[in-house]
Amino acid sequence: MKCCCLGISNVPPSSNSSVLTGKCRFGFHYYYSPPNKRPMRFHGFHALRCHKMYVPGFGGASPESKAARNLQDFFTYAAVRIVLAQLESYNPEAYQELTEFISHNSLNDGDMFCRRLMRESPRHKSLALRILEVRSAYSKKDFEWDNLKKLAFKVSMELQRDSLKTAFLVIC
* The pLDDT value given to residue 6: 44
77 and 40 within one domain: no
Whichever domain contains 126, its CATH number is: 1.10.1200.210
pLDDT (0 to 100) of residue 109 = 93
Neighbouring CB atoms inside 10 A of 110's CB total 23
Same domain, 74 and 12: no
Q: Report yes or no on 56 lying in a domain.
A: no
- Total domains in the chain come to 2
> pLDDT exceeding 90 applies to what percent of the chain?
44
| 65 or 85, higher pLDDT | 85
29 with 82, same domain: the answer is no
Q: Which residues contact 120 (CB under 8 A, 6 or more apart)?
A: 101
Which has the closest alpha carbon to 143: 82, 85, 99? 82
- Residue 154 in any domain: the answer is no
Specify the pTM: 0.61
Q: Mean pLDDT across the stretch 24-33? A: 55
Give the pLDDT confidence of 82-109 residue by residue, as tens digits. 999 999 989 999 999 999 999 999 999 9
Instruction: Tell me what the pLDDT averaged over the chain comes to.
Output: 79
Shared domain for 95 and 31, answered yes or no, is no
Per residue in 106-159, pLDDT (tens digit) is 999 999 999 999 999 999 999 999 999 999 999 999 888 888 889 989 999 999
Domain for residue 80, yes or no? yes
Write out the residue range of the structural domain in which residue 28 sits. Answer: 8-46
**Domain match, 70 and 138 both:** yes
Residue 105 placed within a domain: yes
* Statement to judge: residues 110 and 80 lie in one domain: yes
Say if residue 76 is in the same domain as residue 102: yes
| Least confident residue range of 5-9, 47-51, 115-119 | 5-9
Q: Which of 48-52, 61-65, 100-104 has the lowest mean pLDDT?
A: 48-52
Residues 34 and 70 both lie in one domain: no
C-beta separation of 128 from 118 below 8 A:
yes
Q: How far apart are CA 53 and CA 44, in angstroms?
A: 17
Residue 3 domain-assigned (yes or no): no
